[in-house]
């Protein structure tokens, strides 16, 4: 079960890194620019630890899919990006794909 906590941490750190990327304003703001690299490095460490027990296809799909969904929500709620029906349908398809990979994954 610990490996899923590493994966959850990797997702949270990746989302923090992507948010810092937006806040860095193309590397013109120092603190978010530095945090971007710190968060991404920590995310890759946590993802690597999760891969000890989770298939790479499943771990990466969950990491990128959940991260994408969370970043889309942050974009809509915090950065006031448009919330379109196509955007929601596309996110739903990502979630369906991730669930499909989870259900089709082998148990270690």
Diameter over CA atoms, the chain: 46
Q: CA 96, 73, 87, 18: dihedral to nearest 10 degrees?
A: -90
* Digit-coded pLDDT (tens) for 37-88: 999 999 999 999 999 999 998 899 899 999 999 999 999 999 999 999 999 9
Residue 43 near residue 13, CB atoms below 8 Å = yes
Nearest to 70 by CA among 10, 24, 25: 10
| Predicted model pTM | 0.89
Residue 106 has pLDDT above 80, yes or no: no
| CB neighbours of residue 87 within 10 Å | 14
Q: Is 101 helix (H, G, I), strand (E, B) or coil?
A: helix
């Amino acid at each position: 079960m610990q490996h899923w906590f590493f994966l959850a941490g990797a997702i949270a750190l990746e989302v923090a890194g992507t948010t810092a990327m937006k806040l860095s304003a193309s590397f013109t703001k120092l603190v978010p620019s530095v945090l971007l690299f710190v968060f991404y490095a920590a995310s890759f460490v946590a993802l690597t630890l999760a891969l000890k027990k989770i298939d790479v296809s499943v771990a990466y799909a969950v990491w990128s899919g959940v991260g994408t969904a969370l970043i889309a929500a942050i974009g809509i709620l915090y950065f006031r990006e448009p919330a379109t029906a196509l955007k929601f349908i596309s996110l739903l398809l990502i979630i369906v794909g991730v669930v499909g990979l989870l259900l089709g994954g082998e148990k270690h």
